[in-house]
C-alpha cells in the first residue's frame, strides 16, 4: 500500500489549519493533541433516557395510556385500544443491544375519527437547553433508532415542545414488515418559541402508531410550527389494528447536530440512576426490609426514606399494603403513604424524602417504630413527566 507522509498541510490561503468541509474517512489510527467537536459533545450526547431499553423497573404492563415496560417510555391511546408493553430480547443482531421495548396489541384499535396513538418520551426541559430553541443559534436535532414494525410504508415520528405548543414531524419508511431496520432523521432548528429552563416537559419525542382522520387529513409540517391536528401524521398506517401485531423499538438516540454519531452505550448503573430520577421502587420479600420511623399521633408514623437518587419533583407514592412495628406488636394498613414537608426549593437536591404512613392503630406518638411494605407489596415513588 502506498503512503503519503507530510509534516504540515497548508490551506489554500496559505494558512493552517485546513478545514475539510466534506469530511475525512480514515481506516487506520488517528492521533491528535485534542479532539474538539463543533457540534454536540464527546459524552452525554443522547438526550433520550434508556434508549437501549435496559432498565425495566415496572416490568410488563398492559396499558391503554401511561408508563409501562422499560423506564421513561410512555404511550397514549384514545379509543379502546390497549397493548401489553414489555422489555424484550428481540433486538437487531450485532449492534450491541440486548433489549427492546415491545408493544403486543391486546385490544385492537380500529381506524376512525376518534383514535390516536403514540409511544415515546418526554425529555426534561432543563436537559433541552443545548438545543437553543427560540434563538438565532438554534440547533438541528438528529434522531436515530432501530424499529421493527408489522406494517410497511411511511411512518411518522415527531418532536413537540410543551412550552411553545409547537412541533415538527418527519417520516421514515419501513421497507420490510417485522424486520429490524435502522432509521435516521434530522429535524430542522427552531428559532422561535422557547423551552423553559425548569423540571417540566421539554421536548416530546413520539412515534405515531395510529392517526385518526382529523390528524391525518393535512400535510405533515416538516418545519417547526404551531400544532395543527390535520398536519400531525398524514399517511400513518395503523400499527394497532390487529392483535397479531407487535411493534418494537431500540437504540434510540436524540442528539444536537445534523450527524448521527455512534450510539452512546451507558453503563447499567449510570442508566439506572438516570431513570431513578423519575421513578423508584422498593419490593419486600420479608419483614427484614424494615426502616425506622416515629409515631405521629395514634394512627400514623413519619419516616425518612432514603432515595436511590434525588427525584425530579414531588412524587406520587403508592404501596398496596405496609406494616408498622411498634413496642407492643405490629399493624397493617392499606392506606397509601403520603409525602410530607416537600420543599420545591430544597427537596429536588435531597437524598431523603419524608413519608407518612397512616391507617394504623395503637401508635404511641413520638415512640420509635419501624415500617416496611408487607410481603409481596411494592413501594413506588413516581415523579415522571
Three-class HEC string of 282-301: EECCCHHHCEEEEEECCCEE
Does 2 reside within a domain? no
Same domain, 219 and 241: yes
Same domain, 220 and 197: yes
The H helix count followed by the E strand count for the chain is 1, 23
Look up the CATH number of the domain holding residue 67.
2.60.120.430
Computed over every residue of the chain, the mean pLDDT equals: 92
Domain residues for 289? Answer: 279-382
Residue with cell 393535512: 218
The domain boundary residue, chosen from 259, 276, 293? 276
Asked if 68 and 61 touch (Cβ cutoff 8 Å), the reply is yes
pLDDT per position as a tens digit, 296-314: 999 999 999 999 999 999 9
Same domain, 326 and 255: no
Q: Report the C-alpha gap between 217 and 199 in whole angstroms.
A: 35
When pLDDT is averaged across residues 314-328 and rounded to a whole number, the result is 95
Its pTM stands at 0.91
Same domain, 88 and 113: yes
When pLDDT is averaged across residues 74-83 and rounded to a whole number, the result is 90
pLDDT per position as a tens digit, 242-281: 999 999 999 999 999 999 999 999 999 999 999 999 999 9
Number of domains in the chain: 2
> Hey, what's the cell of 296?
405521629
pLDDT per position as a tens digit, 202-255: 999 999 999 998 899 999 999 999 999 999 999 999 999 999 999 999 999 999
Does 36 reside within a domain? no
Asked if 105 and 246 touch (Cβ cutoff 8 Å), the reply is yes
Same domain, 259 and 142: yes
Same domain, 197 and 122: yes
When pLDDT is averaged across residues 28-53 and rounded to a whole number, the result is 77
Same domain, 73 and 161: yes
Same domain, 191 and 235: yes
Same domain, 267 and 289: no
Same domain, 266 and 151: yes
Q: Report the C-alpha gap between 131 and 141 in whole angstroms.
A: 8
pLDDT per position as a tens digit, 103-155: 999 999 988 777 899 999 999 999 999 999 999 999 999 999 999 999 999 99
The domain boundary residue, chosen from 254, 276, 298? 276
- Number of other residues whose CB lies within 10 A of the CB of residue 137: 9
Q: What is the dihedral of CA 198, 199, 202, 207, to 10 degrees?
A: 180
Q: What pLDDT, on the 0 to 100 scale, is given for residue 179?
A: 98
The domain boundary residue, chosen from 276, 291, 320? 276
Amino acid at each position: 500500500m502506498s503512503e503519503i507522509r507530510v509534516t504540515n498541510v497548508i490551506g489554500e490561503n496559505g494558512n493552517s489549519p485546513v478545514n475539510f468541509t466534506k469530511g475525512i474517512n480514515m481506516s487506520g489510527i488517528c492521533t491528535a493533541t485534542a479532539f474538539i467537536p463543533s457540534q454536540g459533545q464527546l459524552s452525554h450526547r443522547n438526550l433520550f433516557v434508556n434508549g437501549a431499553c435496559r432498565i425495566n423497573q415496572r416490568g410488563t404492563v398492559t396499558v391503554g395510556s401511561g408508563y409501562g415496560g422499560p423506564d421513561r417510555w410512555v404511550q397514549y391511546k384514545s379509543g379502546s385500544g390497549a397493548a401489553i408493553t414489555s422489555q424484550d430480547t428481540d433486538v437487531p443482531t450485532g449492534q450491541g443491544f440486548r433489549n427492546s421495548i415491545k408493544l403486543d396489541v391486546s385490544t385492537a384499535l380500529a381506524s376512525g375519527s376518534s383514535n390516536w396513538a403514540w409511544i415515546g418520551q418526554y425529555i426534561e426541559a432543563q436537559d433541552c437547553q443545548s438545543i437553543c430553541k427560540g434563538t438565532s443559534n438554534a440547533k438541528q436535532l438528529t434522531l436515530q433508532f432501530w424499529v421493527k414494525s408489522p406494517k410497511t410504508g411511511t411512518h411518522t415520528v415527531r418532536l413537540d415542545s410543551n412550552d411553545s405548543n409547537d412541533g415538527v414531524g418527519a417520516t421514515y419508511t419501513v421497507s420490510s414488515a417485522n424486520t429490524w431496520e435502522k432509521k435516521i432523521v434530522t429535524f430542522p432548528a427552531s428559532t422561535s418559541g422557547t423551552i423553559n429552563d425548569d423540571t417540566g416537559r421539554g421536548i416530546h419525542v413520539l412515534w405515531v402508531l395510529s392517526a385518526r382522520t382529523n390528524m391525518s387529513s393535512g400535510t405533515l409540517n416538516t418545519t417547526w410550527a404551531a400544532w395543527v391536528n390535520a398536519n400531525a401524521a398524514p399517511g400513518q398506517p395503523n400499527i394497532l389494528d390487529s392483535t397479531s401485531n407487535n411493534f418494537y423499538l431500540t437504540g434510540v438516540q436524540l442528539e444536537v447536530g445534523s450527524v448521527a454519531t455512534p450510539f452512546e452505550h451507558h453503563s447499567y448503573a449510570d442508566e439506572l440512576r438516570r431513570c431513578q430520577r423519575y421513578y423508584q421502587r422498593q419490593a419486600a420479600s420479608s419483614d427484614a426490609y424494615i426502616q425506622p420511623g416515629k409515631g405521629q399521633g395514634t394512627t400514623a408514623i413519619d419516616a425518612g426514606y432514603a432515595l436511590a437518587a434525588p427525584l425530579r419533583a414531588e412524587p406520587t407514592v403508592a404501596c398496596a399494603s405496609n406494616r408498622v412495628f411498634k413496642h407492643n406488636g405490629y399493624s397493617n394498613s392499606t392506606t397509601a403513604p403520603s409525602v410530607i414537608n416537600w420543599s420545591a426549593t430544597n427537596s429536588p437536591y435531597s437524598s431523603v424524602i419524608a413519608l407518612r404512613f397512616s391507617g394504623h392503630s395503637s401508635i404511641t406518638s413520638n415512640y420509635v417504630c419501624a415500617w416496611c411494605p408487607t410481603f409481596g407489596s411494592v413501594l413506588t415513588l413516581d415523579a415522571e413527566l
